[in-house]
Structure 1
Amino acid sequence: MRRRWMFGAAAVVLLFGVGVLFLTERPLTVNVVQAEQDVALRIYGLGSVEARILSRVGFEVGAALTGLAADVGDRVVRGQELATLDPAEQEARTARARAAVEANVAALARAEATVARASTVLAQRQAANQRQQGLAQRDVTSIQRAEEAQRDEDVARADLAVAEADVAVIRAQGADAAAALQQENVLLARHRLSAPYDAVIVTRHAEAGTVVRAGDPIFTLIAPETVWIQAYVDEERAGQLALGQPGTIRLRSQPQAEFQGSIARIGLESDRVNEERRIWLTCTDCPQPLYLGEQAEVRITTGNRNSALMVPEVAITGFDGHRGRVWLVRDGRLEQVELSFGARDDRGRVEVTGSLPDDAAIVARIPQGATEGRRARTRTTP
């Protein structure tokens, strides 16, 4: 009985050993990477439709809206009237300023007439004084009368100086009144809102009858020729970007279509939280109209390779963006080596730039149970 038990235990151990040996030593079937021809290196980015020139326009003064002459989707030209405010209060101020200018004109005319009168009186006093001084020298008249004549001339000259000073003061007041009138006219003109450039109305923020304050937006405008795609690209891949690189654009509303564009601007500041860089692409054949804020996917072509070995990033361990370790199949067995890598594509693959050992193939997916020296059979990755 004891011998039978020992034989049974030995059989179990033997079967277990055979199983372990089969599981650990049987050849693994692994997918390997093969060189590809005419490889396009692309970078993926996600963003939205935006406009380079976008303005939220409103009045520089506050009042009640009396009319709006444009609506969402309208195309307007530079200087076209968009909206008006109730001008009654400002018109009254303008009329008051205009009346002040007219009153100043009348006051100036009166002052100038006073100057003319004072000038005439001075001429008379000068002539009379000259006669009295001549008579006094010949002792024909008294010295007192000569002194009175001189005094009258001095008084007339002083009156003329006062009249001329009054004219100068009134002219200065006239300049101030004219400036005040100009200011009121400017404020009156600001009760009319005009388009600052040829634009398309994107949003209408207020309706007639609303009392608005200075600076409140009434319309949002865009220059339609400046619509472009703003996208965010991972900083790890952004080093390959350059102005003018072509790209494809896919709009969320038209996922079946691809449109062509190119990089027009690369942001000089990255997003510190998400570690992304902003780029802007102009689109050459996008459908019209484009809708601001619509999600868009972009793929930027950063280069092309006539032939390249592209390895999935998931197959690289310890990858630092330049070097990492991969599994190889060489002479039918697995081994790990360190390689250098270069450009990436939008499919999560990296270009091999370091040289491979002869007759070696890179494993595309790390198989379970991979160990150094284990036998392996290869098949091409799909």
Structure 2
Amino acid sequence: MNMSVSEHDHGEVREPKPSFIKGLLFLFVLLIVVAGLAIFVLTQRSSEGPLIISEDPTPLSVDVMTASLQQSLDLDEKFTGLVAAKRTSELGFSAGGRIARMNADVGDRVVTGQSLATLDTRGLRSQLNSAEAQIAEAVANHALAMSTVERQNALLAKGHVAQQRVDEAVAQATTARARIDAARAQADTLRVQIDLSSITAPYAGVITRRNFDEGAIASPGAPVFELVESSALEARIGLPSSLAAELVVGDTYELLGDRGPVAATLRSVTGIIDSSQRTVTTVFDILDSDAVSTGAVVRLEMQRSVSELGLWVPVSALSEGQRGLWSLYIAKQEEGAWRARPGLVEVIQSEGERAYVRGAVSDGDRIIIDGLQRITPGQAIHPKLAPTATTANEG
């Protein structure tokens, strides 16, 4: 039994171990991998050195326009003004009294001389009747006095009366004549008061305000109606002094109203600069009063040239920068490749989809006009002239 066990143990110790063979196989595989890497590196080499594996990404295709600077900027500016009536009057009674009739209301169009309102004139007419009676009495007394003078002159010629009696008769006749004149003056005064008890339109126009109704007591001078002249309108427009000097008094210009063009003749240029607006007031006479209404806004278009070196670019070519400036991208060729480089500009004037700018732009620069959100400074690009780029810079 002991011998069989020891023989079994002796057989297990003598079996060969595989660790050495595995090590040789691992070393062999490692050598093959290293050799493969070496061969790959050697095959990738060129005469100028190792090949650069990482390359720039594919250039981004962008639309560009060619910059063409201009020396000045022609601005089409619009200046606004208000249409107003040449004459506006507040009408009232010169003397107070009770209003008997109101013949017009707000919105009525009236003609020259039309009666608008009257006071109760019964008291005045009664006084006028009394004055006319006094005139008749004075006339009768004057006639009697003149007859007395004739008789006294006849008696004086016969020597029946003294000269004093003649003189007294003449004095009485003169007094009677003065009473006639006084009575007539009183009657004329009453007639004037009766006339002033009626409001009549001094010119053709439109009633824009009515402050009283029948039966009300109007105090002297209180405005009863506001009358605005409708047949003669004018427009007052403030202009810079340089532009106002270009206008010619008497010439006809076209103003723009809400209902279309309005022809107007320049009546005057004040020549005085408004301290708050820094403008000169110009006054235009509206030729057709039916083409525009009182209070309407009208505009005068004029072109002004500003000496400012710059160019027009599409708004899509601009992105907001800092401190009130804007930035755009210029396509620049560097070492045979096109790259996007930013430049700061200032917006001088904007009109719809375009803007006039000045700044870091030179003649001939290729300005990227769209897709700025995809571009970063120094990015590789492929510029192509946009079909509309030829008209983008027209002023």
Q: TM-score, normalised by structure 2?
A: 0.56
1:105 counterpart residue number: 139
Largest Rg, 1 or 2:
2
Q: Does 1:54 align with 2:88?
A: yes
Query: What residue ranges of structure 2 are gaps of 5+ in the alignment?
Result: 1-62, 314-328, 333-340, 357-361, 368-382
What is the Cα deviation at residue 263 of structure 1?
4.6
1:198 counterpart residue number: 204
- Whether the aligned pair in 2 keeps the contact of 1:246 and 1:300 (CA below 8 Å) is no
SS at match of 1:90: helix
Tell me the percent identity. Answer: 24
1:280 counterpart residue number: 283
SS at match of 1:225: coil
Q: Using the alignment, how far apart are the partners of 1:270 and 1:331 within structure 2?
A: 48
What is the Cα deviation at residue 175 of structure 1?
1.8
Structure 2 residue corresponding to 1:73, chosen from 107, 121, 126: 107
Structure 2 residue corresponding to 1:246, chosen from 245, 253, 256: 253
Deviations 1:176-225 (A, max 9, x none): 22222112111111112212223332322322222222322222223322
The within-5 A match list for 1:1-382 is 42-125=76-159, 153=161, 156-235=162-241, 237-243=243-249, 244=251, 246-251=253-258, 257-268=259-270, 269-283=272-286, 290-294=292-296, 296-301=297-302
Aligned residue identity for 1:92: S
Q: How many residues align?
A: 282
SS at match of 2:214: coil
* C-alpha RMSD over aligned residues: 4.9
What is the Cα deviation at residue 163 of structure 1?
0.6
Q: Using the alignment, how far apart are the partners of 1:217 and 1:259 within structure 2?
A: 36
Q: 1:223 to 1:74 in 2, by over 3 A?
A: same
Q: Using the alignment, how far apart are the partners of 1:61 and 1:165 within structure 2?
A: 39
Q: 1:157 to 1:185 in 2, by over 3 A?
A: same
- Whether the aligned pair in 1 keeps the contact of 2:232 and 2:289 (CA below 8 Å) is no
Aligned residue identity for 1:194: T
Q: Using the alignment, how far apart are the partners of 2:174 and 2:122 within structure 1?
A: 35
What is the Cα deviation at residue 331 of structure 1?
12
2:320 counterpart residue number: none
What is the Cα deviation at residue 123 of structure 1?
3.2
Q: Using the alignment, how far apart are the partners of 1:300 and 1:88 within structure 2?
A: 59
Q: Which has the higher contact order (CA 8 A, sep 6+)?
A: 1
Q: 1:178 to 1:309 in 2, by over 3 A?
A: farther
